Structure 1
């Protein structure tokens, strides 16, 4: 096993079956699995699904899984030996994965670019708490704000570190993501995404200072020019927001700020 690839395999059969039941996998489903490992979930998913797209970066582990699939005469698994962050995913409608912890954030953001019906994903417990962090709490984060407009986030179950081999140092949590009917255009969400990223680089600072310090994420203006444009703002409601701290902004308020400030930053 390669610790650098975050390989911790689920050996608790009850938890494995619980995860699969949460996903309600049936014969019409094409399931995407990231970090399939030796097939703990893959093989059981394949018995229920129309097809499983299993992505595994470690070529040695991938070959072990390939041999297991052949031995059990399972032919509905498309096994891809590659880096999930660098490839386009084939068409799927559900995601079920025990995710490698070190890619939890980028792979989750990548999922948001795809259409799917349901995702049942295992994360490090601390990360899972940030996915559904309440505004103003220590767990409120860019992740919470980004997921807000895209998915309903549901805590499904916790998984003890004792359920894995080798045993990780932390417990895990299984999260369900159900896409929302998004009301934003692609352009609006892209703008919202940039401002959210810029703001949460400095989540304990005042909004104005956070945006000045992270201006490069949104535009190519220098610090002096940004300050000058802030001084020219005549919107009283917006001016009040600029004195608040990032951590207390709701996603709706971030959206408002992004819509109001984007023309100022990019004209």
Structure 2
């Protein structure tokens, strides 16, 4: 890499934003990574080959984009902030295998542009996600998981641990991190935390620490269910009132015309104690309940 293009230091980033009189927007989560080891860990963790298509969400100044372009066949970079596009183009002016899409990744019209750039190929997603859109982007990736080989995502540390959480786990103290997000991601993806990144490794520094999560697409969902919509409705109802027992949470929020006696029979057939709390159930146990619910309603 041309050393004049290396933006993995505080001084280099500061010079670039000063040259363009650019003011990072805190509300948009514009915190630029300035740790070379962390940048390399993200790229290495993505396992990019010379044949791979990479989709980068929020390239910012292009620091990570440069490193991705050295490994991939092509990088599609989606940037929502029009103000930063001139800086991004300056960084990438000598790079021939990067396409920049201006717009919101979550906008359906932008999604069509991305599909055109990928030309039917599966992509590796890499992103330093602004904290305010982490969950919507994660859910979009999950819903379109067929198009994605894997994803390597920087996100708020607390959210990262929710993504990989197992039944009964806690991030700290009374904060319960296993929930709807954990199950939604793990149903389609196999997640692991690659590294933690302190707030001091960003310019400007955010208010929280971060972590990098790798998500590998499963060949098939983690558990077999008869009706995915019913499965996720069940999960959301179970976690909708965490302080209640599983039976009471489902009785009040499931929305299916079972009645308490019917719900009791469903749980008995699934061999689940209704006095348990939702955060103690595994994906398989939720699947067992969902399947018994499906059979009961459709019998």
- After superposing on structure 2, the runs of 4+ consecutive aligned residues of structure 1 that deviate more than 6 Å are none
Counterparts of 2:141 and 2:34 in 1: how far apart (Å)?
26
Say which of 143, 147, 150 aligns to 1:118. Answer: 150
Counterparts of 1:141 and 1:234 in 2: how far apart (Å)?
22
Contact 2:60-2:79 within 8 A present in 1 as well: yes
Number of residues paired by the alignment? 258
Shift of residue 245, structure 1, vs aligned partner = 1.5
Contact 1:155-1:173 within 8 A present in 2 as well: yes
- Decide whether aligned partners of structure 1 residues 146 and 128 sit closer, same or farther in structure 2, where only a CA change above 3 A counts: same
- Decide whether aligned partners of structure 1 residues 186 and 40 sit closer, same or farther in structure 2, where only a CA change above 3 A counts: farther
- Decide whether aligned partners of structure 1 residues 214 and 68 sit closer, same or farther in structure 2, where only a CA change above 3 A counts: same
Deviates more, 1:184-193 or 1:27-36: 184-193
Contact 2:267-2:289 within 8 A present in 1 as well: no
Matches within 5 A, 1:75-86: 75-86=96-107
Counterparts of 1:11 and 1:144 in 2: how far apart (Å)?
29
Shift of residue 63, structure 1, vs aligned partner = 3.3
Counterparts of 1:107 and 1:234 in 2: how far apart (Å)?
34
- Decide whether aligned partners of structure 1 residues 159 and 228 sit closer, same or farther in structure 2, where only a CA change above 3 A counts: closer
- Decide whether aligned partners of structure 1 residues 206 and 266 sit closer, same or farther in structure 2, where only a CA change above 3 A counts: farther
Matched, 1:236 2:275: no
Once the two structures are superposed, residues 140-193 of structure 1 have per-residue CA deviations (whole angstroms, 9 ceiling, x without a partner) of: 111222222322211211111111011012111111111122156786333322
Matches within 5 A, 1:210-229: 210-215=249-254, 219=255, 225-227=257-259
Shift of residue 235, structure 1, vs aligned partner = 6.6
Counterparts of 1:14 and 1:233 in 2: how far apart (Å)?
55
TM-score, normalised to structure 1, is 0.86
- Say what the alpha-carbon RMSD is for the aligned residues: 2.5
Deviates more, 1:73-82 or 1:124-133: 73-82
Matched, 1:135 2:167: yes
Deviates more, 1:240-249 or 1:130-139: 240-249
Counterparts of 2:189 and 2:102 in 1: how far apart (Å)?
29
Counterparts of 1:228 and 1:204 in 2: how far apart (Å)?
19
Say which of 58, 81, 84 aligns to 2:81. Answer: 58
Once the two structures are superposed, residues 118-155 of structure 1 have per-residue CA deviations (whole angstroms, 9 ceiling, x without a partner) of: 21111111111111112112221112222223222112
Contact 1:158-1:173 within 8 A present in 2 as well: yes
Q: Which runs of 5+ in 2 are unaligned?
A: 1-23, 170-175
Contact 2:167-2:280 within 8 A present in 1 as well: yes
Counterparts of 1:201 and 1:231 in 2: how far apart (Å)?
17
Matched, 1:37 2:60: yes
Shift of residue 97, structure 1, vs aligned partner = 1.1
Say which of 152, 156, 159 aligns to 2:190. Answer: 152
TM-score, normalised to structure 2, is 0.77
| Counterpart in the other structure of 2:137 | 107
- Decide whether aligned partners of structure 1 residues 109 and 56 sit closer, same or farther in structure 2, where only a CA change above 3 A counts: same
| Counterpart in the other structure of 1:202 | 241
Contact 1:233-1:239 within 8 A present in 2 as well: no
Contact 1:23-1:120 within 8 A present in 2 as well: yes
Shift of residue 212, structure 1, vs aligned partner = 3.5
Contact 1:46-1:77 within 8 A present in 2 as well: yes
